[in-house]
Amino acid sequence: MSFANLKKQSSLGSLTQKLVKEVEKMSSTSNGADERFWKPEMDKTGVGSAVIRFLPAPDGEDLPWAKLYSHAFQGPGGWYIENSLTTIGQKDPVSEHNRELWNSGSDKDKETVRKQKRKLSYYSNIYVIKDPANPANEGKVFLFKFGKKIYDKIMAAMQPEFEDEEPINPFDFWAGANFRLKIRKVDGYWNYDKSEFDRSSPLFDDDDALEALWKKEYSLTALTATDQFKSYEDLEKRLKMVLGQKSAPRPRLDEEVEDEDDDRGSYTPNFSSRRQESQLPEDLSNQLNSLGSSNEEEDDTLAYFQRLVDD
């Protein structure tokens, strides 16, 4: 752009308009929303529905899903919201701290462990077939974060319980099946019990279209790459701050902890700190509940802990 054109655009106000548009774009992408991810929504009656298709593993990757553990809990010093290093097979300060609390034998400490246990989330590429809440999402590829409830439905489709049921691979382009997502609120949590797979059918009859769709998938291994996790030392510092401790107790290393892999959701932004709050902010509360669960869905972790004590 020449200086003369710069002066001309200034007089017309077009430069200001461009700057305003850029600021709007920056605001929409910096508010924590990741446009790669699709999220179902509920209507005013408290129900939601959509039809999606789970997609195969991206090119060069082995699995059509990624698995990630995280922690989200509040202490005297604020919120601890971090990915767990146990995801990548490393020791994590929260898991070690929880083990120490559990081994104390105190009922109060065990209740604290229940509140601080790690959460399990799965991620897959999906194709949105029908999204009544946001029709603009239809026909697009997204990442979808889901919990144990939906994962169990996928496994049940692949390994049916009854002999007269035909196993299907929900992630297959040609022999997979559409997934009808049906959401209700049960005891304050999003519940997916009524969700189900359709009969097996090709997503498209056009292999060229399927290949083009496949090339639009997002990397899943990138979600659990080492750069997605803070170091043990940084996590330990954050944990001490949240717990209001000057020094964290070192746990015994003779017992391993298996944390609860429930379906009550997880929230895994890479926040380095968070101010102390008396209750969950509404947006965080919605994300923590967005995977849904009933109170009956307790992991066998607590029973495992108890066996360690009894032995």
What is the pLDDT at residue 158? 95
Query: Tokens 């979808």 identify what position?
Result: 144
Give pLDDT, residue 233: 97
CA atoms 145, 228, 70, 73: torsion sign: negative
Q: Domains in the chain, ordered, with CATH?
A: 37-310 (3.90.198.10)
Q: Do 261 and 84 touch, CB atoms closer than 8 A?
A: no
Q: Which of 35, 294, 290, 284 is nearest to 145 (CA)?
A: 290
Residues 6+ apart with CB under 8 A from 25: none
Shortest CA distance to 198 belongs to which of 173, 215, 181, 217? 181
Distance CA 149, CA 179 (A): 13
SS3 call for 219: coil
Q: Are 38 and 51 in contact (CB under 8 A)?
A: no
Give pTM, 2 decimals.
0.72
Quick one: 288 exposed, middle or buried, by C-beta within 10 A (0-12, 13-18, 19+)? Answer: middle
The dihedral through the CA atoms of 209, 124, 156, 132 has a sign that is negative
**pLDDT per residue rounded down to tens, the chain (311 residues):** 555 666 666 666 666 666 665 555 444 444 557 899 999 999 888 899 999 999 999 999 999 999 999 999 999 999 999 999 999 999 999 999 999 999 998 999 999 999 999 999 999 999 999 999 999 999 999 999 999 999 999 999 999 988 888 999 999 999 999 999 999 988 888 899 999 999 999 999 999 999 999 999 999 999 999 999 999 999 999 999 999 985 544 444 433 333 434 444 433 334 333 333 333 444 444 444 444 343 333 344 444 344 444 44
Amino acid letter, residue 180:
R
Which helix H or strand E contains 12, and what residues bound it? helix 3-12
Nearest to 67 by CA among 216, 223, 230, 294: 223
Helices 107-116 and 93-103: angle between axes, nearest 10 degrees: 160
Beta strands 141-146 and 37-38 are parallel
For residue 16, the model assigns a pLDDT of: 64
Instruction: Count the alpha carbons within 13 Å of 204 in the hemisphere toward its beta carbon.
Output: 13
Task: Round the CA-based radius of gyration of the chain to a whole number and report it.
Answer: 23
Take residue 173 and report the two structure tokens written for it. Answer: 């382009």
Tokens 């849904």, residue? 292
Q: How would you write 266-280 as a 3-class SS string? A: CCCCCCCCCCCCCCC
Place of tokens 């999606």: 52
